Amino acid sequence: MKKHLITAFLMTIATTVLLGVLYPLLITALAQVLFKDKANGQLITRNGQAIGSRIIAQPFTSAKYFHPRPSNAGNGYDAANSGGTNYAPTNQKLIDRVQADAKSLHEENPAQPIPVDLLTTSASGLDPEISPAAAEFQVPRVARERGLPESTVRDLVQKHTDQRDLGLLGEPRVNVLELNLALDDMTQKR
């Protein structure tokens, strides 16, 4: 019995060290060497300072920026509180929020139907991308606020629209942070 307990204890220590320490260190080292950008959160830096991540949404409230999907993640795009509300379509809180958002968006662009991704949250609440239709809906506001022709802003949206992966996976999408940074770059060069 004593021999079995010692063997079990040593195996526990060995597997803990091997699988709980050495393996994670090896995988982390490989990720840092082979996929440094992805392993570190795909951060976008300007002047040596991180300003955002390509894979996590962040709030843009100014009218001169494209806005991401609504978020229920904590206090606006808080990755520590990611997750949807899981409200049923008949839940009054969800109905009230969607109606308020729809009213606000109709005031912004009364002639256009509102794309669904500007009214609904993603499963995580942190989706960094919007549909091309959602970006197109926002073009008039952004162009007006920045004093740019709509065609110029529309061209920038087209330039930042990623198509389906491998031509068939996913949907066309626009990364809001990258598009807003490109807008800032464009207006600074003017």
Type of residue found at 136: E
Q: What percent of the chain has pLDDT over 70?
A: 95
Which two tokens mark 120?
A: 């609904």
- Decide: 157 and 139 in contact? Cβ < 8 Å: yes
pLDDT per position as a tens digit, 150-188: 999 999 999 999 999 998 899 999 999 999 999 988 887
pLDDT at residue 55, rounded to an integer: 84
Please state, in angstroms and rounded to a whole number, the distance separating the CA atoms of residues 69 and 168: 23
Please state, in angstroms and rounded to a whole number, the distance separating the CA atoms of residues 145 and 139: 10
* Other CB atoms within 10 A of residue 18 CB: 10
Taking 70 as the threshold, does the pLDDT of residue 7 lie above it?
Answer: yes
Distance of CA 51 to the CA centre of its chain: 14
pLDDT per position as a tens digit, 105-149: 999 888 889 999 999 887 777 889 999 999 999 999 999 999 999
pLDDT at residue 66, rounded to an integer: 95
Contacts of 131 (CB under 8 A, 6+ apart): 115, 117, 171, 172, 173, 174
* Other CB atoms within 10 A of residue 144 CB: 14
**DSSP SS3 for 169:** strand
